[in-house]
Amino acid sequence: MEKIIIFDTTLRDGEQAPGASLTSEQKLEIAYQLENLGVDFIEAGFPIASPDDFKAVDMVSRNIKKSGVCGLARCLKKDIEAASNSLKKAKFPRIHIFLATSKIHLEYKFKKAEVEILEIAKKSVKFARNLCDNIEFSPEDATRSDREFLFRVIETAISQGAKTINIPDTVGYTYPLEVQSLITDIINNVPNINKAVLSIHCHDDLGMAVANSLSAVLSGVRQVHCTMNGIGERAGNASLEELVMAVKTRKDVFKNMNISINTKEIFKTSLLVSNLTGFVIPPNKAIVGKNAFAHEAGIHQDAMLKKSSTYEIMNPKDVGISKSKIVLGKHSGRHALVKRIEKLGIKLADNRINKIFEQFKQLADKKKEVFDDDLIALVEEETSPKVKTYELITVRATTGTDIVPDASVKIRYEKKIIEAKSTGDGPVDACYKAIDKITKIKTKLLAYKLDAITGGKDAQGRVRVEVRVKGKIYSGRGSSTDILESSVKAYLDALNRIK
Ligand code: KIV
Ligand code: ZN
**CA 107 to ligand 2 centroid distance, Å:** 20
For residue 476, what is the enclosing H or E element?
Answer: strand 472-480
pLDDT at 386: 57
The pLDDT of residue 457: 77
Q: What is the pLDDT of residue 92?
A: 98
Average pLDDT value for residue range 479-494: 93
Ligand 1 atom closest to the Cα of residue 168 is 3
Q: Enumerate domains of the chain plus CATH numbers.
A: 2-277 (3.20.20.70), 294-382 (no CATH), 390-496 (3.30.160.270)
pLDDT band per the 50, 70, 90 thresholds, residue 372:
confident
Q: Which of 11, 102, 201, 223 to mutate to test the pocket of ligand 1 (most atoms within 8 A of CB)?
A: 201
Distances (CA, A) of 490 to 17, 469, 479: 51, 15, 8
Q: How far apart are CA 86 and CA 197, in angstroms?
A: 24
Pick the residue with more confidence: 378 or 56?
A: 56
pLDDT of residue 352: 84
40 in ligand 1 pocket by Cβ < 6 Å?
A: no
138 close to ligand 1 (CB < 6 Angstrom): yes
**CA dist list (Å): 215 to 172, 225, 353, 387:** 14, 13, 51, 68
Ligand lying nearest the CA atom of residue 232: 2
CA of 402 to the centre of ligand 2 (A): 58
Read off the pLDDT of residues 411-432 as tens digits, 9 standing for 90 and up: 999 889 999 999 999 999 999 9
Tell me how far apart the alpha carbons of residues 186 and 158 are, in angstroms, rounded to a whole number: 13
Our answer on whether the CB atom of 98 is closer than 6 Å to any ligand 1 atom is: yes
**Regarding predicted confidence, which is higher, 353 or 62?**
62
Residue 178 is which amino acid? E
Query: Would strands 444-452 and 461-469 be described as parallel, antiparallel, or unpaired?
Result: antiparallel
- Residues 64-100 have pLDDT tens digits of 999 999 999 999 999 999 999 999 999 999 999 999 9
Dihedral pair phi/psi, residue 157, rounded to 5°: -60, -40
Categorize the per-residue pLDDT at 3 as very low, low, confident or very high, splitting at 50, 70 and 90: very high
12, 13, 96, 226: residue to mutate for ligand 1 pocket, most atoms within 8 A of CB: 13
Residue 373 CB–ligand 1 contact under 6 Å = no
User: Closest residue (by CA) to atom 8 of ligand 1?
Assistant: 13
AA identity, residue 377: A
- Ligand 2 centroid distance, CA of 202 (Å): 7
Q: Which residue has a Cα nearest atom 2 of ligand 1?
A: 170
170 in ligand 1 pocket by Cβ < 6 Å? yes
Q: In Å, what is the CA distance from 8 to each residue of 98, 244, 312?
A: 17, 12, 27
Residue 51 has pLDDT above 60, yes or no: yes
Selection from 172, 269, 232, 204 nearest residue 19 by Cα:
232
Report the side by side order of strands in the sheet with 390-398.
390-398, 406-413, 416-423
Let me know: does 27 contact 56? Beta carbons within 8 Å: yes
Side chain identity, residue 273? V
CA of 136 to the centre of ligand 2 (A): 14
Residue 414 has a pLDDT of 84
The least confident of 43-47, 125-129, 273-277 is 273-277
Q: pLDDT value at position 275?
A: 87
Q: What is the pLDDT of residue 87?
A: 98
The Cβ-side half-sphere exposure at 471, using a 13 Å CA radius, reads 0
Residue 313 has pLDDT above 60, yes or no: yes
- Write out pLDDT tens, residues 130-153: 999 999 999 999 999 999 999 999
pTM of the model: 0.77
H or E stretch covering 96: strand 93-100
pLDDT at 385: 62
Which residue, judged by its Cα, is nearest atom 4 of ligand 1? 170
Rounded to whole angstroms, the Cα distance separating 95 from 69 reads 9
Cα distances (angstroms) measured from residue 206 to each of 157, 202, 266, 433: 30, 11, 25, 62
Q: How confident is the model at residue 462 (pLDDT cuts 50, 70, 90)?
A: confident
Q: What band does 380 get if pLDDT is binned at 50, 70 and 90?
A: confident
CA-wise closest residue to 90 among 20, 160, 42: 42
User: What is the residue with the minimal CA distance to atom 5 of ligand 1?
Assistant: 140
The region that residue 493 occupies, defined by phi over 0 for left and psi between -120 and 50 for alpha, beta otherwise, is: alpha
For the residues 210-227, what does the mean pLDDT come to?
Answer: 98
Considering only CA atoms, which residue is closest to atom 3 of ligand 1? 170
Ligand 2 geometric centre to CA of 16 (Å): 9
Average predicted confidence (pLDDT) for the chain: 94
d(CA 78, CA 88): 15
334 closest CA partner among 312, 309, 355, 310: 355
What are the start-end ranges of the H helices in 229-277? 240-249, 266-277
Cα(70) to ligand 2 centroid in Å equals 14
Taking the centre of ligand 2 as the mean of its atom positions, its distance from the CA of residue 429, in whole angstroms, is 62
Quote the pLDDT of residue 455: 73
Sign of CA dihedral 158, 13, 170, 118: negative
> Does the CB atom of residue 164 touch ligand 1 within 6 A?
no
Confidence of residue 341 (pLDDT cuts 50, 70, 90): confident
For ligand 1, is residue 140 a contact (CB within 6 Å)?
yes
- What is the pLDDT at residue 387? 67
Q: What are the angstrom distances between the C-alpha of 75 and each of 11, 117, 144, 152, 169?
A: 21, 10, 20, 17, 19
| pLDDT value of position 442 | 94
Identity of residue 146: D
Q: Which amino acid does the sequence have at 429?
A: D
